[in-house]
Amino acid sequence: MGRQYTGSAGKVSAGNGTKGARLHDWVYLELADLDADEYTDGLPGTWTRGLLIRRHVADGALALFTTWRPAGTTMETLVGVEGHRWAIEDSFETAKNELGLDHNETRSWHGWHRHVSLVMLAFAMLAAIRPRANAAPPKRTWTRPQT
């Protein structure tokens, strides 16, 4: 289709952070429309390769993200998906620190795959258990013994 700017969303939030909405300036540069079925089985229709560009409002720093999306995906959806990247990176960092994801000296793909699979399974279990373990205990109700 040729290179073209397909949208500039201006200031859009990539989600809420610890200090509120994470507002940045965004623009999307479409690089190519492709028939997705040629590249990946089961992806029907036209998909677009593109470049999502984020500019930090305070200092003007740029961040670039490559995209592979169904044609017609909105800018807000692209920004929302990019906003989840931080949580994923944080999860991998936690798995490295708490469960030894990066303590791997295997010499084969099979050994690496087993190590990563077990660590990520343990991480998923901890993620499910942790909210229950950290929850406040239920309030006790005292009843008088019947005489």
Quote the mean pLDDT of the chain. 82
54 and 23, same domain (yes or no): yes
Local confidence band at 22 (pLDDT 50, 70, 90 cut-offs) = confident
Three-state secondary-structure class, residue 42: coil
Residues 88, 123 contacting (CB under 8 angstroms): no
Same domain? For 45 and 96 the reply is no
> Is residue 147 in some structural domain?
no
Contacts of 83 (CB under 8 A, 6+ apart): 13, 14, 15, 22
Which domain covers residue 19, as residue numbers?
A: 4-73
Which residue is listed with tokens 């201006």?
A: 10
pTM: 0.60
Q: Say whether both 69 and 34 belong to one domain.
A: yes
From CA 92, how far away is CA 109, in angstroms rounded? 19
Work out the average pLDDT over 96-118. Answer: 87
pLDDT tens digits along 53-100: 988 888 888 989 998 888 888 888 888 888 888 888 888 898 989 888
> Do 8 and 61 share a domain, yes or no?
yes
| Alpha carbon distances (Å) from 36 to 49, 54, 74, 102 | 10, 26, 18, 34
Same domain, 52 and 8: yes
What residue has token string 């670039």? Answer: 64
Please give the average per-residue pLDDT across 33-41, as a whole number. 78
Answer yes or no: do 69 and 9 share one domain: yes
Last residue of a domain, one of 73, 99, 124: 73
